[in-house]
Amino acid sequence: MQPTEELKHEHRVIERMLGVVSKACDRLEEGKEVDPALFVGAADFFKNFADKCHHSKEEKLLFARLQERGMSGEAGPIAVMLHEHEDGRAHVRKIAELSEKKLTGKAKDELIEHARGYVDLLSQHIQKEDNILYPMGDQILTEQDQEELEKGFEDVEEKIMGPGVHEKYHKMIEKWESRYG
């Protein structure tokens, strides 16, 4: 699969989790119960799937190769994307921390704030990558670049993610979607 196509598929999975988190925030705001395991699982998914797997493929491989092909890493789309990845990490750290607390009062408000902040940030981030950065990238990457990136992505799957991890997260998303979707 073309590397940017693979990343777009991962975006669709991330968007499903963002949708679940957004619904969970609605429920909390309406004063309804949400299983605390949802936010614990969401933080784990955002750390491992969205950041460790997906953002590794982008930062260490795709963006790095685009910079070798002349795109700036200091200004323009790559710089913006890197900055947004950092902002996202800060939200996820807070979501992970707050998800361990009892979801009432200040902890609940702060959790909603960071969860909503992350959903907004990442939704827009994904749009920019799908519609601007990836098409620009595919224009300047050579055939060989594409093949090497594809291999590099396979390495990330084998060495960083490991077998069965995608399936585990898909199952988790399906479970929350069926409960709160």
Task: Give the footprint of Fe ion on this chain (CB under 5 A).
Answer: 58, 81, 129
Question: Measured from the CB atom, is 58 or 145 closer to Fe ion?
Answer: 58
Using alpha carbons, select from 125, 166, 148, 143 the residue that is nearest to residue 62. 148
Nearer to Fe ion, 65 or 98 (CB): 65
Q: How far is the CB of 158 from Fe ion (least distance, A)?
A: 20
34 phi and psi, to 5 degrees? -130, 135
Smallest gap from Cβ 41 to Fe ion, in A, equals: 20
Smaller CB distance to Fe ion: residue 109 or 130?
A: 130
**Pairwise CA distance, residues 78 & 82, whole Å:** 6
The CB-of-85 to Fe ion minimum distance in angstroms stands at: 6
Min dist CB 143 to Fe ion, Å, is 23
Q: Give the residue with the Cβ less far from Fe ion, 15 or 26.
A: 15
| Torsional class of 71: left (φ above 0), alpha (ψ -120 to 50), beta (otherwise) | beta
Cα–Cα–Cα angle for 108, 111, 116, nearest 5°? 125
